[in-house]
Structure 1
Amino acid sequence: MPKIRKPAEPASRRAFLKSGATAAAAGAATLAMPNVVRAQEAAVFKFQSTWPAKDIFHEYAQDFVNRVNEMGGGRLKIELLAAGAVAKALEVHDAVLSGTLDGGHGVTAYWYGKHKAFSLFGTPPAWGWRANQMLGWIKYGGGQALYDELVQQVLGLDLVGFLSGPMPTQPLGWFKQQVTDAEQLKGLKYRTVGLSADLFKELGAAVTIMGGGEIVPAMDRGLLDAAEFNNPTSDTLLGFPDVSKDYMLQGYHQSAECFEIIFNKTKFDALAPELQAVIRYAAEAASADMSWKAMDRYSKDLEALKAAGVRVHQTPESVLRAQLAAWDKVIEAQSAEPFFAKVVESQKAWTKRVVGAQFEIEVDQKLAYDYFFKA
């Protein structure tokens, strides 16, 4: 006998409540959506470099900003401005502290008027290390902790900073004639920054500190006799060959340096942890890329300077030795301040171990270079 089909059962109370809860949840999600969108609106930081727009240093700042903006996933955006847009080059630090700017790209030597130890993270003594070894100290030798201590404890600044971008040994600078003896530096109106200013004062120079964009106009007006900035590319872009034809390469005044990327700490701390990480890792990535870009651009532009009639000279050993002797005096004088001395001892311990190991481990590259290219 065929089975009789039962009529459909009415929906159970449980099913009704379940469907009602689902609809309610969907409605709540719809209502809540504007709040989610608002929570994910991009944080926009106004960020100024201490460099003129035409300088390769501003390009390095842009490289960092591009990485942050790309990895920020629409939740963090940095707007880059050139020196002078909001604050003068030497005033960026104060503008970030006041909140007029959210961040900046520069060098710690620019702030050594606040505390001489600032310059140890930008223009340290010539311990025999290279710039990337100095950044190694920052990362693995205790340098970042000391920087943080200086900024946030010793000076109590509402600031967070990341050290990035190794700068090769800087030229002695641009002069009216070739420098063959340290005596020629005495009485010279010379531009430099940071502890290098103390060094050249020991050598008898009359030192002036100014931002990069001001140097060439000052030389053109006779306010400076000579000046250093940083590298063949920057020096070319800033116009040094227009006011001088004698370019002295090498020096111990700034044999290792790096950039400083800073943010207002209150604003940085308000970011989600993953966005703070984006900034940290963008600084590291830009640092590596900058080291490779510098190899390419500086070497090309040095050749271009020679082709354009600039007389390129090597700083003689007698001048280099005079600089080392001057470093002795600067270090001794400034180490009377306890925190300065603390940083110096940390740097010396790192360099003695790391550079000492380098000399043991790495082969002499000059021997091979001369064999293949100077035969």
Structure 2
Amino acid sequence: MKRRAFLKTAGIGGAAVAVASPAIAQASPSITWRLTSSYPKSLETLYGACTYLSELVSDATDGAFKIQVFAAGEVVPALAVADAVSNGTVEMGQTGSYFYIGKDTGFAFGTAIPWGPNSRQQNAWLYRAGGIDLLNEFYAKFGIFNLPAGNTGTQMGGWFRKEIKSKADLSGLKMRVGGLGGTVLQKLGVVPQQLGAGDIYPALERGVLDAAEFVGPYDDEKLGFVKIAPYYYYPAFWEGGAELSFFFNLDKWKALPKSYQTILRTAAATAGHDMQAKYDVLNPPALRRLVAAGAQLRPLPNDILRASYKIALELYKEMSEQNPAFKKIYEHQAAFHRDSQAYWAISDFYYDYMAVSAQQQRWDRD
């Protein structure tokens, strides 16, 4: 029996109805929100987190809280989600926070920074080390409340028309890349460009881009990059654990009943967990298909990786001197990351390294 039906029929005479009905109405008001995503419907890993959250919220409230989901371009352009949420065009959005570093470099931390935490470290920092509260202190200046929307895991370094043998080959290369990764690569000679998912393939096809990174094998396969730029590089040192964001208009968030806020927090965490599980299942077979289709898998050259690490640290020092908000979040996350890495080196990293070595070298043959 549904909760409302039970409360309306329980008790003696009409006493229960007189007490319960106003309480139910007050606790579970009928609300309809609009959610706009930065991603197209074809990317069910990313866009799918929105529909999953919407279904969870509706089920948990017996349909009283409805969230209508819109793909990129249906309400606002893919990279205009933050503004749409902030100005109240929509109550809610799903996006990559680092798309908006032009507003403030502090937006980078909601997604990922070059050579930053991996996905588990990012989630630990967000949920248990104070990261969410620290970010929301920052987002409040823009009229936004943020909840993590799911992590992609470490991303691929992207698709290139020509082979990259050293950092010299990056000079003048026009590349779609988001966040501070673009800033670091720019110092290595790349001309970074920020485009929504649906605009990347046409830009590659027309030669407007020489290279493009998006997420990883499953999404990249859907977007068709292998047909145009066959060299597929790894890893994306700028997205070691890329987190998506659910942005809420701050005033709308504050006006919600506490029960609805709790439901949204829980639904966002559930949808986020589901997103990374999808990627972990779907990426391996997608990579095999891409290689069969002609993808030339390559590691990024060591001189690019070493130079990018040095540049990133110099950039963080410079940005910290220029922006107190950046400095506050960076120092907090960097301290957590250093502490985590010391343990990671003898736990997960070492285990993974040994497990991969055992599998590749077939220790069972010894």
Contact persistence 1:108–1:260 (CA under 8 A): yes
Counterpart in the other structure of 2:59: 70
Task: Give the distance between the partners of 2:213 and 2:315, measured in 1 at CA.
Answer: 19
Give the AA of the match of 1:111.
Y
Q: Which residue of 1 aligns with 2:78?
A: 89
Instruction: Write the distance in 2 (CA, Å) between the matches of 1:69 and 1:314.
Output: 44
* 1:241 matched to 2:226: yes
User: Does residue 350 of the first structure (1) align with residue 339 of the second (2)?
Assistant: no
* CA displacement at 1:372 relative to structure 2: 3.3
1:240-276 CA-to-partner distances (Å, cap 9, x unmatched) read 1232111112131222210100111222222211111
Distance 2:35 2:96 in 1: 15
With 83-92 and 259-268 compared, the bigger mean Cα shift is at 259-268
Report the counterpart of residue 365 of structure 1 in structure 2.
352
Aligned to 1:140: 128
Q: Secondary structure of 1:364's match?
A: helix
Residue 224 (1) aligns with residue 209 (2)? yes
Instruction: Give the CA deviation at 1:99.
Output: 1.7
Deviation at 1:309, TM superposition (A): 1.6
The one-letter code sitting in structure 2 at the alignment partner of 1:353 is D
Instruction: Give the TM-score normalised by structure 2.
Output: 0.88
Q: Percent identity?
A: 28
* CA deviation after TM superposition for structure 1 residue 172, in Å: 1.7
Mapped to 2, the partners of 1:204 and 1:44 lie a distance apart of 47
1:126, 1:256 within 8 Å by CA — same for their partners in 2?
Answer: no
**Equivalent of residue 37 in structure 2, options 42, 49, 62:** 49
Report if the CA contact (8 A) 1:141-1:346 is conserved: no
Are 1:130 and 2:115 an aligned pair?
A: no
Whole-angstrom CA distance in 2 between matches of 1:97 and 1:142: 23
Taking structure 1 as reference, are residues 76 and 367 closer, same or farther at Cα in structure 2, changes over 3 Å only?
A: same
Matched, 1:184 2:169: yes
Query: Which amino acid is the alignment partner of residue 244 of structure 1?
Result: A
Deviates more, 1:285-294 or 1:223-232: 285-294
* 2:143 equivalent in structure 1: 158
Moved more, 92-101 or 34-43: 34-43
Question: What's the secondary structure of 2:145's corresponding residue?
Answer: strand
Deviations 1:158-196 (A, max 9, x none): 221102312222222111122121111111111111111
Superposition TM-score, scaled by structure 1 size: 0.86
Superposition deviation, residue 26 in structure 1: 6.6
Give SS of 1:321's match. helix
Q: Highest Rg: 1 or 2?
A: 1
Return the match for 1:100 from 89, 92, 95: 89
Q: Does the residue aligned with 2:150 lie in a helix, a strand or coil?
A: strand
Q: Deviations over 1:285-314 (max 9, x none)?
A: 112222211111111111111111211112
Whole-angstrom CA distance in 1 between matches of 2:28 and 2:300: 55
In the superposition, relative to structure 1, how do residues 334 and 76 fare at CA in structure 2: closer, same or farther (>3 Å)? same
Amino acid at match of 2:155: Q
Equivalent-residue separation in structure 1 for 2:261 and 2:198 (angstroms): 31
CA drift of 1:332 comes to: 2.2
Provide, for residues 24-43 of structure 1, a one-character-per-residue CA deviation record: whole Å limited to 9, x for no partner: x679949x969966985531
Residues 308 and 338 of structure 1, relative CA distance in 2, 3 Å threshold: same
* Shift, 1:354, TM fit: 1.5
Question: Aligned pair in 2 of structure 1 residues 205, 63: CA closer, same or farther (>3 Å)?
Answer: same
Flag structure 1 segments of 5+ consecutive residues without an equivalent.
Answer: 1-21
Q: Which amino acid aligns with 2:124?
A: G
**Gap change, CA 1:37 and 1:274, over 3 Å in 2:** closer
Aligned pair in 2 of structure 1 residues 65, 213: CA closer, same or farther (>3 Å)? same
Aligned CA distance change for structure 1 residues 26 and 253 (closer, same or farther; 3 Å): closer
Matched ranges for 1:164-179 at <5 A:
164-179=149-164
* Cα distance in 1 for residues equivalent to 2:68 and 2:263: 15
| Cα deviation 1:71-104 (Å, max 9, x = unaligned) | 2322211111100000001111111122211111
Number of aligned residue pairs: give it: 348
The whole-number CA distance in structure 1 between the counterparts of 2:21 and 2:238 is: 58
Matched residues in 1 for 2:318 and 2:16: separation? 71
Q: Which residue of 1 aligns with 2:9?
A: none
* Matching of residue 340 in structure 1 with residue 316 in structure 2: no
Q: What's the CA shift string for 1:186-240, capped at 9, x where partnerless?
A: 1111111111121111111111112121111111111111111111111111221
Alignment of 1:310-325 (within 5 A): 310-325=295-310
For structure 2, the residue ranges without an aligned partner over 5 or more in a row are: 1-11
Task: Provide the secondary structure at the position in 1 that maps to 2:294.
Answer: coil
Residue in structure 2 matching 1:114, options 103, 127, 143 = 103
User: Over aligned residue pairs, what C-alpha RMSD do you find?
Assistant: 2.3
Paired residue type of 1:147: L
8 Å contact 1:251–1:320 — kept in the other structure?
no
